[in-house]
Amino acid sequence: MRTRKINPRSIADRIRRVLKNGGSGRHGKEVQRFFQEEIQSRGWYTAELRRVAGDFRRYILREAGQDFLVKVADDLFSGDVLEHKVFAVCLLETLADEFGDAEFELFQKWLARISSWADHDAVVHYLIASMIRARPARARVVFRWAKSPDRWHRRASCVALIQGTRKKMFFPEITRLSRVLLLEEDEIVQKGLGWLLRETTKFNTRRAVPYLMKIRKVAPRLVLRTACETLPPAVRQTVLETNQSKIRRPARVLSYPKSLKR
C-alpha cells in the first residue's frame, strides 16, 4: 500500500479488523471478572498484542512517519474496546522519550476517554509517566488532576509519578500529593496512591519509611498496606500497627489478569 493512499482512520480501521478477527471470545469473557466496570474485550493476550503492534509500528513509521503513527493511535484510543486502547499505547510506548509538548497535551486529553483501570494505567504509566520522568517540570499537572472530580484523573496524578520515583525523583511532589489524597474514599484512587508509595518505599526507602510513619494514623488502610508490601516484615508491622485499629470498610482487591500484566 502506497503512502499517498493511506490515512490514519483507514489504518486504525484495519487494526480494528485484525483485533476483532484474531482474538479469543472465550478469553474476552474471562477478562471481565477483573473489572468492576462493564468492558468490551476481543480476548487478546498482551504479549501477542504487543507483537502485532510492533509490526504495525514499523510499517507505519516506514511508510508515513511518527506524526502519522500518533494520529493512528489517537483514532484507536476511543470507544469502549479494551484492546483498541491498549494497542494504541503499544504503538507508541517505545517512542515516549521522543515526544514533545504537543503529544503530552494529546495524551492528557485521552484521560477523558478512560473506561477502566487497564486502559488508564496503560496510557498513564507507559506514556505520560515516561514523559514526566523525561521532563520533570511536567509533574506540576498532577496537582490539578488530584483535585479533579473525575476518579481517573485523580488516579493518574499518582500513577504519573511512578517512573520518576523509581529514579528517586519527585519525593517532595509525592508527599505533597499524598497529603491531598489521604482522605480519598475511591478504592481505584487509593490503589493508585498505594502503588506510588510502594514504589517510592522500594526505591527510596530511607526517605519513604519515615514518611509512612508520619502518615500511618491517618492514611487509608488499603493505601498503607500497599505502600508497605516490599518492606521487611518487622518494619512493615511497625508501620501498620497503629493503623490496624482503624475501622474502615474492607476494600475489594482487584488483581491484574495475567493477560494484561506487563
The verdict on 211 and 117 lying in the same domain is no
Q: What is the CA radius of gyration of the chain?
A: 20
185 is a domain residue: yes
The CATH number of whichever domain residue 217 belongs to comes to: 1.25.10.90
Q: What is the mean pLDDT of residues 198-208?
A: 97
Residue (of 22, 25, 21, 1) closest to 11 by Cα position? 1
Same domain, 92 and 147: no
What residues contact 252, with CB distance under 8 A and at least 6 apart? 36, 187
Q: Give the chain's mean pLDDT.
A: 89
255 domain-assigned: no
| Residues 105 and 142 reside in one and the same domain | no
- Going from the C-alpha of 134 to that of each of 65, 103, 160, the distances in angstroms are 22, 13, 12
Is 23 within 8 Å of 83 (Cβ atoms)?
Answer: yes
pLDDT score for 43: 79
- Reduced DSSP (H G I as helix, E B as strand, rest coil) percent helix, strand, coil of the chain, to 5: 75, 0, 25
Q: Is 252 part of any domain? A: no
Domain extent at residue 97 = 1-134
More confident residue, 87 or 245: 87
- Is the domain of 96 the same as that of 17? yes
Domain boundary among 134, 151, 169: 134
Instruction: Please indicate, yes or no, whether residues 24 and 123 belong to a single structural domain of this protein.
Output: yes
* Residue found by looking up cell 481517573 in the block: 152
Whether residues 142 and 174 fall in one domain: yes
- Say if 256 falls within a structural domain: no
- What pLDDT score does 258 carry? 43
Query: Phi then psi for 43, rounded to 5 degrees?
Result: 80, 35
Among residues 134, 150, 171, which one ends one of the domains?
134
**Residue 221 placed within a domain:** yes
* CA of residue 177 relative to chain centroid, distance: 17
Say if residue 142 is in the same domain as residue 92: no
Q: How many CA atoms lie within 13 A of 69 on its CB side?
A: 26
Residues 93 and 143 in one domain: no
Q: Which residues contact 209 (CB under 8 A, 6 or more apart)?
A: 201, 231, 235, 239
Number of domains in the chain: 2
In a domain, 261, yes or no: no
Task: Determine if residue 168 is left, alpha or beta; phi over 0 gives left, psi from -120 to 50 gives alpha, anything else beta.
Answer: left
Residue 162 amino acid letter: I
Count of helices and strands (H, E) across the chain? 16, 0
Same domain, 157 and 102: no
Let me know whether 1 and 95 are in one domain.
yes
Predicted confidence at residue 44, as pLDDT, reads 85
pLDDT 10s digits, 29-76: 667 666 667 777 787 888 999 999 999 999 999 999 999 999 999 999
In the prediction, which pLDDT does 248 show? 46
| Res. 229 pLDDT band, cuts 50 70 90 | very high
For residues 62 and 177, state if they share a domain: no
Report the predicted TM-score, pTM, of the whole model to 2 decimal places. Answer: 0.86
